[in-house]
Amino acid sequence: MSRFITSFVAGLLAIVAGYCVSSAADLPGALSREGPALTNFNNVTVLAWAGIEGTEAHKVRYATFKGNSTTEREIPGALTVSAPALASGAQSVYLATTPPDADNSIDLYASNDGGTFNSMGPLCDANACARTLAAPALAGAGATLYAAWSTPNGAIKYATYINGVWGIAPLPIPNARTDARRGPALALYQDRLYVAWLAPNGQTVSVASAALPLSNGSWSGQAIQIPAQSHVAPALGVLTVPGAPNSAAQSSQALFVAWTAPDSRVNFARWNPQLAQWAASPSPIPLPTGPLTLQTVALNGFTFEENQECFYVNSLADVGVGPGHRHKIDFRKVTGGCP
């Protein structure tokens, strides 16, 4: 803990000087065999993961970060058989799990302070309930929450949560198919909802988007395919890209997709809205060389103001595979000053 606090203080000093700094948090008790989840709420980063206990279901744990890590907490009664999902809205942090029941349902939890989660019940509307064999995905925009999941036959369905009511789209996303045990990823970028999934053969990541607000024809556009070998679901995240040193270029936000390659390294592609293309990209967050993880990573980025100064935070979490990191949740972040 002291090492993290020291690195954070150094980071603040460097931000004031105009530099960006990377640091890592030590979570000695955070162990998992599933990918973690990240979001932010009121300038606080929230990390959640499926605990390693149990053979069929795992307790759900989480931690919050604002300068230094809090004591790890557990959501009472929350069990999951796959990785959890996180998202934040205007008033709450939302968490989704896949409980160990015969219905293959998705359970939701919410917190209005980022610290105490309460059950919202299963993801159902008046006509149906969500069913999945894999980790779901969440994304929040103001008072609206979006969810996506792979169905037991590999299609990808989605739903919206508005004014306390879920609405599940009657049809899945067109031409979106994945292995039933791999979930999709969701992200919001420039007034569009993006969804990414891995092809059933594990050779291609596809990304589709829909303009907001969603309508029956929102997903009519063709998905863009990225050559990407993997055995787990991809990740999406909107992160800040700093301008080049000693140049007039300013920092900007960009959409990234990440996937875990067969060699356990994590590869990235960055979306270019002007060209409507994905291009290979270095990691927006410094990563150690060599194998990193066997699971899906989590990405998260946000900006905030403090003392009339603008700052950004980019973060990445993964389940390590190296010596001393096997099954350990590793949390890394980059902090910097906005122009």
Distance, CA of 92 to CA of 120 (rounded, Å):
12
pLDDT of residue 90 exceeding 90: no
2-337 CATH, one of 3.40.640.10, 2.120.10.10, 2.60.40.1250, 3.40.50.300: 2.120.10.10
Domains of the chain, by residue range, sit at 2-337
pLDDT of residue 7: 33
Calculate mean pLDDT across residues 264-269. 98
User: Which residue, chain included where needed, has tokens 């198919």?
Assistant: 177
As a whole number of angstroms, the distance between CA 5 and CA 25 comes to 9
Task: Supply the pLDDT for residue 8.
Answer: 31
Q: What proportion of the chain, given as a percentage, has pLDDT over 90?
A: 69
* Mean pLDDT, all residues of the chain: 88
Could you tell me the CA-to-CA distances from 104 to 94, 181, 315 in Å, in that order?
19, 12, 31
List the strands of the sheet with 58-65, edge to edge: 37-41, 44-50, 58-65, 73-80
pLDDT digits (tens, 9 = 90+) for 155-175: 999 999 999 999 999 999 999
Q: Is the pLDDT of residue 311 over 70?
A: yes
Give the 3-state secondary structure percentages of the chain, helix then strand then coil, rounded to 5: 5, 50, 45
Spatial distance between the Cα atoms of 82 and 301, rounded to a whole number of angstroms: 24
Pairwise CA distance, residues 261 & 244, whole Å: 29
Using the predicted structure, report yes or no on whether residue 114 has a pLDDT greater than 80.
no
- Per-residue pLDDT band for 24 (boundaries 50, 70, 90) equals confident
Radius of gyration of the chain (CA): 19
Q: Output 226 or 142, whichever has higher pLDDT.
A: 226
Give the model's pLDDT for residue 56: 80
pLDDT level of residue 324 (50, 70, 90 thresholds): confident
Give the C-alpha separation, 214 to 158, whole Å: 10
Check whether 20 has a pLDDT greater than 70: no
The Cα–Cα gap between 149 and 134 comes to 7
- Condensed to tens digits (0 to 9), the pLDDT of residues 50-86 reads 998 777 899 999 999 876 667 789 999 999 999 999 9
Question: Which pLDDT belongs to residue 310?
Answer: 86
